[in-house]
Amino acid sequence: MGDHSDGIPAGSDAVAKAGLHDVEKFQDPGLPPHRLRLADTDPWAAKRAERQVAILFGISVVGTLLFFFGYFFIRLDDTIGTLRIQNMLLGLGTAFAMLGIGTGIVHWARALMPDHEVSEERHELRSEADRVAAEKIVGDIIEETGIKRRPLIRNTLLGAVALAPFPAIVMFRDLGPLPADALRHTMWDKGTRLVRDPTGTPIRASDVTLGSAFHVIPDGLNNLHEGKLEEKAKAVVLLMRLDPSLLNPSKGREDWSYNGIVAYSKICTHVGCPVALYEQQTHHLLCPCHQSTFDLTQECKVIFGPAKRPLPQLPIAVDSEGYLVAQSDFHEPVGPSFWERG
């Protein structure tokens, strides 16, 4: 802007404070003159545009044929390769078929159809007279019903109308059972074996080497016929072995682990994703959904992220055959918080 030795520098005064400038305005010069296109003046250009449109429509025909080729002549076998080729041919065929028509029509419209911009007056959206008349009609209708003069009718009607929708809401009651104490219990019980997810094979304490981690389900889950996923959604557990000196059990939890082997609920206390990532070196558990981080050495206390509560611990022991078993169910509800949790 420095080179404007002439005019008003577009510096600070261009940001005008109110009322400093005269509100003299430029006049609207009207629609700019129409410019002719090449195809309007040159018959050869028009002919060329016509041929281009026809070629585009022709491409569309080829696309449709390509679709049929892909549909009828690609045999799907059990490999994903043939599926991929067929999908590509169907897609390409459809794309050519559609783009051919689309670009053809648009090119036709742009190059050959009249391109004069026209101006149309906007009509008044509403007229005052209409509004006055409408207001009067509504007034008359209300007057004729007498609803203002007969409050008894009005009030009973209001009451009836206010009450009538409630059955429609109540009817949704049977969508599901009441929660009762379903969220407070899982399949775990005294003596339930810890088995591998998903094979269901039991785990010996001696199998759990230092630093290893197991995805665990309660024994018997795989044999359930009904409610398997519901039970699994509450009962999944992560089993890890740490150096016993790293564990700092609080009062009452001293005997919940075995030889440094601890078991924690795998369901995040935030909104319920599986806390599936175990960082062996730092002894952190990380939820892949929202990155809540739990510290195993502090009884899975939350050290980062949106969760508030620690993961519930499953008290474990070893049975006479050396397999890991639960001492009891979890001592608190697992998973996300709910109003009645307490």
* Interface of this chain with another protein, residues 276 to 315, rule: CB under 8 A: 276-277, 288-292, 302, 304-309
170 binds another protein (CB under 8 A): no
Q: Residue 150 CB, nearest distance to another protein (Å)?
A: 34
Query: Of 44, 73, 166, 339, which one interacts with another protein (CB under 8 A)?
Result: 339
Name residues whose C-beta falls within 8 Å of residue 215's C-beta, 6 or more positions apart in sequence.
196, 197, 236, 237, 238, 239, 266, 276
Q: Which is nearer to another protein, 249 or 336 (by Cβ)?
A: 336
Task: Find out whether 292 and 268 touch, Cβ atoms under 8 Å.
Answer: yes
Count of Cβ atoms closer than 10 Å to residue 242 Cβ: 18
Site mask for another protein (CB under 8 A), range 90-129, x = bound: xxx-xxxxxxxxxxxxx-xxx--xxx-xxxxxx--x----
Site mask for another protein (CB under 8 A), range 12-31, x = bound: --xxxxxxxxxxxxx-xxxx
Name residues whose C-beta falls within 8 Å of residue 95's C-beta, 6 or more positions apart in sequence.
63
Query: Of 274, 295, 298, 327, which one interacts with another protein (CB under 8 A)?
Result: 274
Cα–Cα distance, 208 to 239 (Å, whole number): 9
Please state at what angle helix 80-111 crosses helix 43-73, rounded to 10 degrees. 160
Task: Find out whether 288 and 272 touch, Cβ atoms under 8 Å.
Answer: no
Q: What part of residues 216-255 is at the interface with another protein (CB under 8 A)?
A: 217, 227, 229-230, 232-234, 236
Q: Which is nearer to another protein, 202 or 274 (by Cβ)?
A: 274
Q: What part of residues 122-161 is at the interface with another protein (CB under 8 A)?
A: 122, 125
172 binds another protein (CB under 8 A): yes
Count of Cβ atoms closer than 10 Å to residue 45 Cβ: 14
Main-chain dihedrals φ then ψ at residue 151, nearest 5 degrees = -60, -25
User: How many of the chain's residues bind another protein (CB under 8 A)?
Assistant: 112
Q: Which is nearer to another protein, 31 or 210 (by Cβ)?
A: 31
What's the 3-state SS for 157-210? HHHHHHHCCHHHHHHHHHHCCCCCCHHHCCCCCCCCEEEECCCCCECEHHHCCC
58 binds another protein (CB under 8 A): no
Task: Find out whether 155 and 224 touch, Cβ atoms under 8 Å.
Answer: no
Q: Residue 306 CB, nearest distance to another protein (Å)?
A: 5
Q: Residue 155 CB, nearest distance to another protein (Å)?
A: 30
Q: Which is nearer to another protein, 4 or 149 (by Cβ)?
A: 4
Q: What part of residues 312-331 is at the interface with another protein (CB under 8 A)?
A: none
